[in-house]
Amino acid sequence: MNCGEILQPKEMAVVIPGFLMLKGNPKDPGDILRRKFDEKGPCSSVDPGFIFSGSYVDKVRRFFAGRMRCRIHYRSGKRDVTKDINTEVYLSALIMKERIEARGQDGGVLVPIAVSILVTEEDLSMEDFIAIPHFLAWNNGCPGGNGSSVPFPKMVEERINSKLGEWGRVELNDVGRFFTSVINVSWKRLSEIHPDDPTVRDVIRLCPKELYGMAVTDEGFSAVSKEYALSRLEEWATGNRVYLLKVISPASIMAIKADEGRESFETMELPDCTVWKRYVKAHMEERREICHHGLFYYGEYLGLTFATISAFRHVIRGLSGSLRSDSVKGVEVIKSLIREMDGIRIDIETYLSALYPGRISKIPELTRVIEKMYETRGLPAFWSEMKHTISVLTEVMREGGELIEQRIEKQSARQLEFGVTLLEALPFGYIIHGLSRLIGLSISTELAISITAALFGLWGAYKYRTVGRWEGEQVEKFMKKAEDMISALF
């Protein structure tokens, strides 16, 4: 069958995680963003409070960063296709009272962000949908168009930085990028093909290669076997509605939906329940389909979790760099290092609590989508990765504490030994005084004791140097192990 008869690619949003590095210690990072951007999101009616708790919703701010155009170019068979794609750029920021400090020379405060690039172009083909992320998202050398060889994500980064000006800068990740998309299904055509019991899940069996290509932006989809494409789609598919299916691949969250079939199945209503009425009304009024069923907010949340990891990765790398530069300074530097690690550990625990799906999700389906996104990417879940980071920092802090205790014990032992050594110099001083008189030398008792004490002092100083050497060796070993452990994070 012709899949173009049943599938209509509708909307897409590329999500790029990153972080803002704001200079100094601003009282309210959101106030800076409000000065530079319009505070508004892409969804006019559907709000995140339908699927997320207030403890999360209150921490996320959305800003409109402007409209931009990207030119895509591809060949399909004998057709040479060039299109200008209009987009709207939004910036979602996770703003909390607890700040992520940018330690090291950079200084300032880090704010996790997710940049969403919404494609506003209409009448897009399946091949357009496959090509667009190569230009808007992936770091694979596709130019942004309009005569520029600069990749489009870099153009977006430059646009945001030009608006921020002296207040700071944004860094967008090369990794962790993905997209959300909406594919509409003709319920009428589907009902003709499956008249007895139509379901959107049937579509993946009718058009597996095309849907696989759109899910992972595989331009070679036509050369993929039907069996392989179908097996991947069935593995990625999740949903409990006959008219809605989410396909969560390593590259995207794709909603395949036939909302016109919704009324055929959902016959029960809750007209006295205000939340239910608001939800239905919001979806009826919302013009952007990518906002329906919370799809935009799913992508935003995932972008912010990747962005939070990115921010802490930046902090950890700064810490790793200080380990290399401070390794010659002795045990004392470990004390400040432990204090710094403890601060990072507390920050991670705070953000982990704020983003934990089990605490902020209002519906089980949201938690499932989040878990599946990490699963398909072959990544540990956000909370698992953060907890692992906390355990590594705790282990490094424990070993550093043990080294400090060993150093204190050795210092105390050497100080006591040095005191005893000086006391031992007294009788030897008297002996030297007696011997000097026997051989006819006139040396006072005080001078003899002073000479002996000086000799014993030199011996003690030599032994102290062995403590210093031990300390240097142990600190170097500790710093190297700590650097290896911390560098392996993320």
Query: Using 50, 70 and 90 to split pLDDT, how confident is the model at 435?
Result: very low
Question: Which amino acid, residue 197?
Answer: D
Question: Is residue 155 situated within a structural domain?
Answer: yes
- Coil vs helix vs strand at 178: strand
Residue 78, judged by CB atoms within 10 A of its CB (0-12, 13-18, 19+), counts as: exposed
Question: Is residue 375 situated within a structural domain?
Answer: no
Exposure string (b/e) for 395-421, b if CB count within 10 Å is 16 or more?
Answer: ebbebbeebbeebeeeeeebeeebeeb
Question: Nearest CA to 122 among 2, 10, 32, 19?
Answer: 10
Q: Which among 300, 328, 360 is the end of a domain? A: 300
Residue where the block lists tokens 């919703």: 57
Q: Are residues 294 and 418 in the same domain?
A: no
Q: Which among 260, 276, 300 is the end of a domain? A: 300
Question: Is residue 90 situated within a structural domain?
Answer: yes
Q: Are residues 92 and 237 in the same domain?
A: yes
Question: Is residue 346 situated within a structural domain?
Answer: no
Spatial separation of the C-alpha atoms in residues 212 and 218, rounded to whole Å: 8
Q: Are residues 424 and 292 in the same domain?
A: no
User: Is the whole model's pTM more than 0.85, yes or no?
Assistant: no
Output the average pLDDT for the chain.
79
pLDDT of residue 255: 94
pLDDT of residue 208: 95
Q: Are residues 61 and 173 in the same domain?
A: yes
Rounded average pLDDT over 306-328: 72
DSSP 440: T
**pLDDT tens for each residue of 202-228:** 999 999 999 999 999 999 999 999 999
Question: Nearest CA to 48 among 361, 487, 266, 341?
Answer: 361
CB 44 within 8 A of CB 288: yes
pLDDT of residue 274: 80
Question: Is residue 147 situated within a structural domain?
Answer: yes
pLDDT of residue 413: 47
**pLDDT tens for each residue of 140-176:** 677 776 667 889 999 999 999 999 998 899 999 888 8
Query: Using 50, 70 and 90 to split pLDDT, how confident is the model at 434?
Result: very low
Rounded average pLDDT over 274-289: 81
pLDDT of residue 220: 93
Spatial separation of the C-alpha atoms in residues 290 and 313, rounded to whole Å: 30
Domain range for residue 412?
399-487
Tokens of 457: 């002092």
Question: Is residue 187 situated within a structural domain?
Answer: yes
Q: Are residues 56 and 205 in the same domain?
A: yes
Q: How many domains does the chain have?
A: 2
CB 386 within 8 A of CB 351: yes
DSSP 249: -
Question: Is residue 367 situated within a structural domain?
Answer: no
Question: Is residue 366 situated within a structural domain?
Answer: no
